[in-house]
Structure 1
Amino acid sequence: MRSARAIVTEYGGTDVLKLVLEPLRKPHRGELLIQVEYSGVALADLMRRKGLYPSSPQPPFTPGYDAIGIVIDKGEGVTPFAIGDRVAVFMDGVGGYASYLYAPVGEVIPVPASLDPASALSILLNYVTAYQMLHRFACVSEGNRVLIHGASGGVGTALLELGKLANLKMFGTASAHKHPVVTSYGAYAIDYRQEDFVEVLSQQAPEGMDAVFDPIGGRNWDRSMRTLHRRGIFIGYGYTSVISQGEENDWAARWQALTEDGTTANGNPVHLYSITTLKKERPEWFFEDVQHLFSLLLQGMIQPLISHRIPFHEVARAHELLETSKATGKIVLVHS
């Protein structure tokens, strides 16, 4: 039996993604061997593929944060799981694009059997990110005004759905053809290509935003900060402008500077969010929040939006869909 793994052979376009086959080994002590059903695709995967992510691994490497699948073998000393259990694994941005994974038992998350595995997969990166930004850092409450950039994406739609549950007043930027998705969650949609979101918000919500969630970076961060209420918080969680615009390639320096300052020029609090950093610092939060979100999923209170289910061997197409903004919600790779 062999495992298929997608690797980035060198930094570049989608053509640098190649599939390789490797023999499987027996899991080591304390490890599980998981046959992957679904792997998640994220914008940070594209940034790593292009070498734009801070501390991007040197090629060859396998991208991927999140995977879900079935336990098919266990190493010595593994007791909490049985063969045939469905489980999830979250990685530090590297390793998820594989048909089989080895994972330490302490990093493996049980998945309720009744959940759709693709929906459960969406919880690990997209919904945990959204939940922690909303409730661990912004500490939103009913009626708060929030601005969500990239509102039609995987994290964006998670923010919209969780924001709707929290009865927030939401504004979301997206291209015009994706506005029906944004408005379906009760948010006011802003066409970032044709409208100035700062001007729109000055008219629609002159009191200012209680929280802004911005994964874009660059000048967008500066303009987002202008929309804040005097007690509002700015949360940045990415710098995707480097993908399309190539601006501020040394964006890690600005991220670090803002993290150290902790405030905007006007004195608003700033938090720059990284799920991988927070998981290392507060692992108990990650596992608590996954279980809470699984509970909401089981109750039907959230329904993650799955944009595309792409066969694993078409991983390059998945990257193209994400890079050209043709997806709404989560893109998943399906392992047959």
Structure 2
Amino acid sequence: MTMKTARIHAFGDASVIRYDDVPQPRPHLGEVLVRVAATSFNPTEAALRAGLLQAFLPVDLPYTLGWDVAGTVAETGPGTDGLAVGDQVVGRLDGAGAAAEYVRAPAALLVPAPASVPLTTAAALPVAGLTAWQAVFEHGKVRAGQRVLVNGAGGGVGGFVTQLAKHAGAEVIATAGARSNQAVRRRGADHVIDYTTGPVAAALDGPVDTLFNLVPLLPHDAAALASAVRPHGRIVSITTPIEPPTDTGVSSIHMIARNDVAHLAALVKLVDAGDVTLDISASHPLTDLADIHRLSEAGRIRGKIVIIP
């Protein structure tokens, strides 16, 4: 049997994405075969496709795209007693990609999918949700009563950071353009600063305890935002490394999220409890994936986009 996939055979612009028919895989020891309901697009995948991540995230070609997976277990391999055919699962894949009709996945990377949302919607959770969880709770150490600034709240990670910081009891100040303003407020932002109208730091009415930076910054913009963090506060950036102001005791980390099924399971519980919502801005068929990469590189994507094979 064959299946459809979206793969790259070389690094380059979005035109290198090809839609191939390949043999349907079979699960090995400790693996299951997942019938993919959806994957979701993450901007980092565009960097991988362009060959910009080979230094620290090397992949062999041809490479199937799609790090997020939500789907149904179609077959189990030996050593997967915790999963059964028909189980609905969600996970982040660190090897084989889910931009395909089926994917062979390590059972240890999968958790039960949220029961309260469609399975296709759940595909938006793993990569962006794990990044946000670790930013807010591990690195930002957000707690009730703090003021946090989420720079880039209109993106996929930003939506989760906003919700998790609010869930932790913080006052959330978010930056967003006009088209994302209402969505960011629905996610729980107490204040929204339109970054297109002037410097963000100038619009603040006082210092913040923690800055979450989720967008690339020029050096002078990074320095301006860093100056808005109170002494002994924290800066957490998933894009541009940010130098903290000198002699302020501010800590700064440039983080890369790791795969952690315990964190993902905790996120699923928050989704089912109604404390975290999944904002899907659009869904597209697999054959639109190259166009999604182009839109992302042009800065024209808001929220999470799911890809349905």
TM superposition score normalised by structure 2: 0.89
**Equivalent in 254, 257, 278 of residue 275 of structure 1:** 257
Moved more, 13-22 or 120-129: 120-129
- Which residue in the other structure is 2:262 paired with? 288
Residue deviations 1:216-262, cap 9 Å, x none?
244243332121100210101124xxxxxxxxxxxxxxx5xx8xxx9
Query: Does the CA-based 8 Å contact 1:28-1:76 persist in structure 2?
Result: yes
Q: Say which SS state the counterpart of residue 28 (structure 1) adopts.
A: coil
User: Relative to 1, partners in 2 of residues 1:119 and 1:164: Cα closer, same or farther, differing over 3 Å?
Assistant: farther
- The 8 Å contact of residues 217 and 236 in structure 1, kept in 2 or not, is answered as no
Between the aligned partners of 1:173 and 1:151, the Cα distance in structure 2 is 6
Give the alignment partner of residue 309 of structure 1, picking from 264, 277, 283: 283
Looking at structure 2, the residues matched to 74 and 234 of structure 1 have their Cα atoms a distance apart, in angstroms, of 43
Question: Where do 5+ consecutive residues of structure 2 fail to align?
Answer: none
Q: Counterpart of 2:139?
A: 137
Q: Which residue of 1 aligns with 2:150?
A: 148
- Equivalent residue, structure 2, for 1:2: 2
- CA change 1:89–1:183 in 2 (3 A) is closer
The alpha carbon displacement at 1:39 in A equals 0.4
Cα offset for 1:155?
0.7
Local SS of the residue matching 1:270: strand
Structure-2 separation of matches of 1:101 and 1:306: 22
1:213 is matched with: 212
Q: 2:14: which partner in 1? A: 14
Query: Is 1:79 matched up with 2:53?
Result: no
- Aligned residues of 1:130 and 1:159 also touching (Cα < 8 A): yes
Q: Larger deviation: 51-60 or 322-331? A: 51-60
Q: Give the conservation status (yes or no) of the 8 Å contact 1:126–1:155.
A: yes
Question: What letter matches 1:192 in structure 2?
Answer: Y
The residue that corresponds to 1:159 in the other structure is 161
Cα deviation 1:21-66 (Å, max 9, x = unaligned): 1112432222211111110111101111222335254653223221
5+ residue gaps, structure 1 = 240-254, 280-285
Aligned residue pairs: how many? 303
Q: In structure 1, what residue type is equivalent to 2:272?
A: L
- SS of the residue aligned with 2:225? helix
Q: For 1:85-104, what aligned pairs fall within 5 Å after superposition?
A: 85-92=87-94, 95-104=97-106
Answer whether contact 1:176 1:191 (CA < 8 A) is retained.
yes
Asked if the contact 2:7/2:19 (under 8 Å) is kept, the reply is: yes
Output the CA distance in 2 between the equivalents of 1:29 and 1:95. 18
Kept in 1: contact 2:25–2:103 (CA 8 A)? no
Q: How much does 1:105 deviate?
A: 2.1
